[in-house]
């Protein structure tokens, strides 16, 4: 490994990573980013499926590399006696085991939490799945699109006159991974006090429900669902995305003062005298005509013009950027949020903790079984293989 492993809050910890595809690996990558040693255990016959997924760059799968950077790889057949012994030796010495198989798979291998807690009572064992380890849907297949559909998030995303809309990223996969990481960190802290590990059980479905915000509030207040309201704020106006001559800007007026500053900046002080826009309540009632009035002005000039003018008026405003523009923004560079691993560019680590490095170049994702020989040696069972 040409790039040194960086120090972090989890330095010194050993993580057995049985996760695959996107959800689980996203969570364990955070452990790796924050200093843990993460050993990815892959099945024979090609390893993690995503090694074959595009997009590719320099012959490498970005899909795989992004969520496996900085890990070691060993291929183990968990149904093979000798490989199981190596695995069990790893479990004895590990701090964390993470897996995202469908519920029941680990138990059939004889490696459920209870099985492994008997071998290593300090083990933090994290399971991430679509619907969790319990409940009527525990065994249901769970792809991100299905979880987004069933959680309600799609029903609240989109234009009022348009269809329910998937969030333009695998939100439920990634949220499951981030909550799994959070649960592991919590259980590791608790272990310092109790001396015992625990089973962390995360569901992509639960994770997405926890992110519904206004949707659940509305249900709680009225018993009904909030429909789709496009890009605007449910309770404030104008607080939306608006079209300019060459793109869009987001403008957020949280109070009457900001609204009056905005109208003056746009050369439309007359709107302040219009009873339809007198206060936030009336502006919300007339939100469509207000948007049209503002866009009639905004469409006459470019985004760059309006950003300067509206910012100078002290009104919160920002451009709508595409991904290329966002990741190349000076702020992204200043925060080290576009890093390189194995020569590939990818999103960085958003958890910045003082006293630890946050390198712009991180270790690459491993080739399949890249560290197999060394790991088999390191985790050879105490009795020699010949004697068993």
Catalytic residue positions, numbered? 233
User: Encoding tokens for residue 15?
Assistant: 């993580």
Task: Find the shortest distance in angstroms from Cβ 138 to its own copies.
Answer: 8
**Which C-beta is closer to its own copies: that of 139 or that of 385?**
139
User: Encoding tokens for residue 108?
Assistant: 């059939």
The residues in 256-315 that bind its own copies, with binding defined as CB under 8 A, are: none
- Phi first, then psi, for residue 127 (nearest 5°) are -115, 130
Distances (CA, A) of 25 to 127, 223, 258, 307: 12, 37, 44, 39
When binding is defined by CB under 8 A, the residue of 79, 196, 292, 299 that contacts its own copies is 196
The residues in 35-64 that bind its own copies, with binding defined as CB under 8 A, are: 53-57, 62-63
Task: Find the shortest distance in angstroms from Cβ 120 to its own copies.
Answer: 15
Residue with tokens 């993470």: 98
Judged by CB under 8 A, which stretch of 100-108, 280-288, 319-327, 365-373 contacts its own copies?
319-327
**Which C-beta is closer to its own copies: that of 199 or that of 376?**
199
> Hey, what's the torsion of the CAs at 171, 174, 180, 182, to 10 degrees?
-90
Q: How far apart are CA 345 and CA 352, in angstroms?
A: 19
Q: Contact at 8 Å (CB) between 37 and 14? A: yes
The residues in 326-345 that bind its own copies, with binding defined as CB under 8 A, are: 326-327, 329-332, 334-335, 337-338, 344-345
Task: Find the shortest distance in angstroms from Cβ 16 to its own copies.
Answer: 18
Task: Find the shortest distance in angstroms from Cβ 273 to its own copies.
Answer: 27
Q: Work out whether 354 is an interface residue with its own copies (CB under 8 A).
A: yes
The residues in 174-193 that bind its own copies, with binding defined as CB under 8 A, are: 174-175, 178-179, 181-183, 185-190, 192-193
**Which C-beta is closer to its own copies: that of 86 or that of 341?**
341
Determine if the peptide bond prior to 55 is cis (ω within 30°): yes
Task: Find the shortest distance in angstroms from Cβ 291 to its own copies.
Answer: 12
Judged by CB under 8 A, which stretch of 69-77, 262-270, 281-289, 349-357 contacts its own copies?
349-357
- Phi first, then psi, for residue 265 (nearest 5°) are -60, -30
**Which C-beta is closer to its own copies: that of 8 or that of 47?**
8
Task: Find the shortest distance in angstroms from Cβ 319 to its own copies.
Answer: 6
In the stretch 84-123, what mask flags binding to its own copies with x, by CB under 8 A? -----------------------------x----------
Cα angle: 173, vertex 26, 86; to 5 degrees: 120
**Which C-beta is closer to its own copies: that of 74 or that of 142?**
142
Where residue 333 falls (left for φ over 0; alpha for ψ -120 to 50; beta otherwise) is alpha
Residues in Cβ contact with 227 at an 8 Å cutoff, skipping those fewer than 6 apart: 155, 156, 160
**Which C-beta is closer to its own copies: that of 72 or that of 240?**
240
**Which C-beta is closer to its own copies: that of 118 or that of 224?**
224
Residue with tokens 């939306």: 240
In the stretch 121-160, what mask flags binding to its own copies with x, by CB under 8 A? ----------xx-xxxx--xxxx-xxxxxxxxxxxxxxx-
Which H or E run includes 191? helix 171-194
The residues in 205-234 that bind its own copies, with binding defined as CB under 8 A, are: 205-207, 209-226, 228-231, 233
- State the burial class of residue 330 (Cβ atoms within 10 Å of its Cβ: 0-12, 13-18, 19+): exposed
Q: Contact at 8 Å (CB) between 187 and 198? A: yes
């Amino acid at each position: 490994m040409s790039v040194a492993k960086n120090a972090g809050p989890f330095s010194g910890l050993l993580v057995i990573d049985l996760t695959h595809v996107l959800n689980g690996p996203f969570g364990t990558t955070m452990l790796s980013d924050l200093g843990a040693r993460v050993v990815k255990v892959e099945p024979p016959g090609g390893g993690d499926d995503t090694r074959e997924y595009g997009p590719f760059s320099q012959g490498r799968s970005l899909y795989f590399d992004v969520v496996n950077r900085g890990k070691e790889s060993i291929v183990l057949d968990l149904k093979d006696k000798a490989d199981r012994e190596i695995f069990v030796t790893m479990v004895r010495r590990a701090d964390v085991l993470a897996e995202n198989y469908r519920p029941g798979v680990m138990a059939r291998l004889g490696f459920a939490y209870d099985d492994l807690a008997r071998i290593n009572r300090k083990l933090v064992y994290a399971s991430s799945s679509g619907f969790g380890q319990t409940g009527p849907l525990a065994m249901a297949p769970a792809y991100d699109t299905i979880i987004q559909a069933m959680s309600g998030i799609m029903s609240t995303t989109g234009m009022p006159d348009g269809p329910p809309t998937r969030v333009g990223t695998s939100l439920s996969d990634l949220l499951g991974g981030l909550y799994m990481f959070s649960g592991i960190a919590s259980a590791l802290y608790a272990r310092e006090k109790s001396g015992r590990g625990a089973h962390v059980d995360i569901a992509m479905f639960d994770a997405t429900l926890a992110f519904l915000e206004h949707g659940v509030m509305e249900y709680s207040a009225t018993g009904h669902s909030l429909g789709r309201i496009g890009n605007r704020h449910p309770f404030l106006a104008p607080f939306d995305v608006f079209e300019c001559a060459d793109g869009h800007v987001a403008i957020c007026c949280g109070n009457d003062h900001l609204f009056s500053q905005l109208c003056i900046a746009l050369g439309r002080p007359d709107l302040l005298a219009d009873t339809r826009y007198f206060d936030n309540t009336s502006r919300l009632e007339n939100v469509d005509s207000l948007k049209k009035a503002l866009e009639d002005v905004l469409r006459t000039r470019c985004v760059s013009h309006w950003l300067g003018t509206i910012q100078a008026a002290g009104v919160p405003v920002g451009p709508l950027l595409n991904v290329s523009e966002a990741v190349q923004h000076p702020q992204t560079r200043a925060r080290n949020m576009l890093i390189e691993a194995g020569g590939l560019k990818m999103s960085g680590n958003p958890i910045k903790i003082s006293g630890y490095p946050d390198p712009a170049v991180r270790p690459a994702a491993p080739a399949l079984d890249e560290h197999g020989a060394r790991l088999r040696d390191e985790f050879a069972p105490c009795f020699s293989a010949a004697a068993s």
